[in-house]
A and B are shown apart, each in its own frame.
Chain A
Amino acid sequence: NAGVTQTPKFRILKIGQSMTLQCTQDMNHNYMYWYRQDPGMGLKLIYYSVGAGITDKGEVPNGYNVSRSTTEDFPLRLELAAPSQTSVYFCASSYWGSSIQETQYFGPGTRLLVL
């Protein structure tokens, strides 16, 4: 049981380049999330998904796109990288059922530097 995995671990992008951050979970969780963490700050929600084919915007969605074609995968797409997108990106998943107690399980993070 690998939990939540993310690739790559670290990436340097030039301004204007595009890339996809990969996220996979093997816990059969229905909900998946993408967060960004800027230095010295907490996590801010970019996008989330309540199930395959359904996504919605979080607090800071501009400059990003997501898709969810399967329960397991939730890739995050950066189309035109900007220095403001330099951050650490975390993917998370949870089972959202009838209880508020379910926690989110986080991947190890992807460190992105845009120069």
Chain B
Amino acid sequence: AQKITQTQPGMFVQEKEAVTLDCTYDTSDPSYGLFWYKQPSSGEMIFLIYQGSYDQQNATEGRYSLNFQKARKSANLVISASQLGDSAMYFCAMREGTTTQGGSEKLVFGKGTKLTVNP
């Protein structure tokens, strides 16, 4: 079973509008972390935002916010006021457990969503 599922292979959004990229995850570990990365056409992986399973509030980083719905096991990325430079692949990833709990130091990635921002 896939641990990270991104159901949108591609998404389109008009410049200056908001867009939501979906991510659902599967884990039985009560402690986990969720990450979003951006991969522009140049290929590098850029860390965007992090959400911990015990965090009470949704994470925000500038124009990026994470809509974390723990009961639904979803961690959707919201990009507000889209810019042309936001066009890229976006990957959701999960890390399970903590070092003190013998957790995993490994990230599991979804297949990604290609976002295109239209002028």
Contacts and interface: CB of A to CB of B under 8 A. Distances in A.
Nearest to B54: A100
Given A48-B106, A99-B98, A100-B95, A90 B45 contact: yes
A42 B91 contact: yes
Contacts of A13: none
Nearest to A50: B105
Interface string A82-101: 00000010101010111111
Interface residues of B, number: 27
Interface residues of A, number: 28
Interface of B: 4, 31-33, 35, 37, 43-47, 50, 52, 91, 95, 97-100, 103, 105-107, 109-112
Interface of A: 31, 33, 40-45, 48, 50, 58, 88, 90, 92, 94, 96-101, 103-106, 108-109, 111
